[in-house]
Chains A and B, each alone.
Chain A
Amino acid sequence: EKLFHYRDRSDVVIPPSHQAELITDTDTAEDFLSKYGFITPVNWEDAQWDEEKLSEDFSSGDTMSLIQEGDSLSWSGNTKDPSENAQLITALKEFQRMIGLPVTGLFDDATKAAMNKPRCGVPDKEADSKTTAEHNTTTTGGEGSQLGNSTETDQEQVKDPEQKTAETRLVHTRSERLSR
């Protein structure tokens, strides 16, 4: 090993075993869509409970995607019958719609890039996906109404000495204050 590493570790080469598998084809894409609930909503709450069963499955080193139906588990496997294709296309469209890509149902480069972005591991669609969808529609409604009318004397936008002073004061305690 080198005697010194850069402190930000930018020179450390991550061994391939610690690199996330990239999504390159429809199979891995299907895994992605299944994991985040686009094929069947994931019962994320229970995923944590079925520890013994899952750990056995995982210990087999099997990276196939898991679809839970109630308490029993079933495998999606790699068989490609037309209905699964339709399911995949529907899931792709749902994913593309959610992230604002053109809804084509095709596994194109933009979709691939979006799937490979760093992201949170919590599924996008959980078991009660209906509410999630509705929640989204409700939260994407218009901005809250701007209340309070501004008057000529309301010059808050211009940095006021107090705010600057306060921030200066607080810079000593919380350096991000200015950026925050």
Chain B
Amino acid sequence: KKRHLASLLGQTRRRREEGEMEYMAFSKAVLRWRLIGEGYSSQLSIDDQRYIFRLAFRMWSEVSPLEFVEDSHSPLEDIDIRLGFGTGRHLGCTQRFDGAGREFAHAWFLGDIHFDDDEHFTAPNTGDGISLLKVAVHEIGHVLGLPHLYRAGSIMQPSYLPQESSFELDWQDRKAIQHLYGSCNGRFSAVFDWIRKERTPYGEMRVRFNTYFMRDGLYWLYENRQNRTRYGDPVAVEVGWHGIPANGVDAHVHVWTRGNDAIYFFKGSQFWKYDTENDQVFTEDEEGRRYPRPISEGFPGVPGPIDTAFYDRRDSQIYFFRGPSVYAFDVKANRLAKGYPKKITQVFPAVLPGDHPVANLDVAYFSYTHNAIFLLKDTSYWRVVSSRDRRRRPFLPYNGLLPHREVDEQWFDICNVHSTALRV
């Protein structure tokens, strides 16, 4: 019996033999979980319990390539992680619970998580009792292969710490789980800094911005200072950006000059103008033009659809990318700049021969944080030579592309969650 179950386990898990670290890790990206029917808690409503577990699984999904889906229908052997409550001797488990106090839960490598229903488990933010969310995140960490970590601030500490106002998986917990499952990477459809101007109570005009990453119908706010996405992201595009296509956009362009401040989103052969003040797309702008409009109408000479685009404040031109070509559009003259379209390899030459995205870019992004232009394709990015680079190394070509690096080495933990967990 022991060997048989072990062989079953072998099918869904593999042991990572890396150096001295031997941990079990799932070898599938989408894991199914279920709160076992005979294992409901007697203290919280079933909906509360299921909601808390959905949130707990989502928190791990936000920092790892894993996705979790609740599955109440498949045969039990297809369920990767089973959760249940019990007291004393419970759910056929060999480890008896000790009653109220001390041991409140445990987890097994086969993916079983048991909670001692003699404990006073509470929903998040209820102050007293033991936060079921916090315990669930801890036990799921075990099932995913993490041991106890005695580091202050780690969710994998064995002893329960009364819940601070909120808890999140900190940097090192993220690295620990990513050590087992790898970091999150994937292609983005748009990356941009959204700029707003506000007046301080003293009447000063202040410019603020946030960085956003979009992938299909999801978006993340990236907190540059914290090197991570905002807690609780991703969010559905339709929730945060009203009026643009729910499955995402090809490009975001912010034309920002002394006399012009306009934000455009591009998708397919159309584009939208975004109303920053009201946080939604214009249906009709000041000149009475209705949106969405064909790209060829608003930017004559630029074919749709495009791969990506960005506005270059150095020469006040929008660079549209499509296939191997780049179209520089003179905003003031409202026409293509002379000599365009050109090859991307010609306008943005490789500094290191052969190290160039050549065609079909995903993103062209000017970052205010780095004061640099990045071209992204697949999971790599190329930074464009800046004026500061050329002051130090004059031999570098204008708009040259520096050797590529991986996106997830610069922007961390931009992870998908399962579509069923999006609304948690």
User: Is the Cβ of A166 less than 8 Å from the Cβ of B240?
Assistant: yes
Please give, as numbers and ranges, the residues of chain B lying within 8 Å of A100 by CB-CB distance.
150, 152
Looking at the complex, which of B67-75, B207-215, B348-356 is the stretch in contact with chain A? B207-215
Looking at the complex, which of B26-34, B105-113, B318-326, B335-343 is the stretch in contact with chain A? B105-113
- Which of the listed residues A19, A165, A177 has the most CB atoms from chain B within 10 Å of its own CB? A19
Distance to closest chain B CB from A171 (angstroms): 11
The 8 Å CB contact of A131, one of B22, B106, B149, is: B22
Distance to closest chain A CB from B105 (angstroms): 6
- Cα-based distance from A177 to B232 in the complex (angstroms): 7
Question: Assuming the A-B contacts A48-B110, A119-B158, A166-B239, are A148 and B95 also in contact, with contact meaning beta carbons closer than 8 angstroms in the complex?
Answer: no
Question: Assuming the A-B contacts A120-B138, A161-B196, A162-B210, are A148 and B369 also in contact, with contact meaning beta carbons closer than 8 angstroms in the complex?
Answer: yes
Is A81's CB within 8 Å of the partner chain B?
no
A-B contact count (CB 8 A): 223
- Which of the listed residues A55, A116, A156, A161 has the most CB atoms from chain B within 10 Å of its own CB? A156
Looking at the complex, which of A72-80, A82-90, A104-112, A121-129 is the stretch in contact with chain B? A121-129
Please give, as numbers and ranges, the residues of chain A lying within 8 Å of B92 by CB-CB distance.
51
Is B235's CB within 8 Å of the partner chain A?
yes
Dominant secondary structure at the B interface: loop
Per the CB 8 Å criterion, the residue count for chain A at the interface is 73
- A residues sitting closer than 8 Å to B (CB atoms) are 8-10, 14, 17-23, 36, 44-51, 54-55, 58, 98-100, 114, 116-122, 124, 126, 128, 130-132, 134-136, 139-140, 143-144, 146-151, 153-158, 160-163, 165-166, 169-170, 173-174, 176-177, 179-180
> Could you list some 24 contacts between A and B, CB below 8 A?
A19-B99, A20-B101, A36-B158, A47-B94, A118-B103, A119-B102, A120-B106, A120-B142, A120-B160, A121-B103, A131-B20, A136-B149, A143-B172, A144-B171, A146-B227, A148-B224, A150-B225, A151-B369, A154-B224, A154-B369, A155-B209, A156-B209, A156-B224, A161-B196
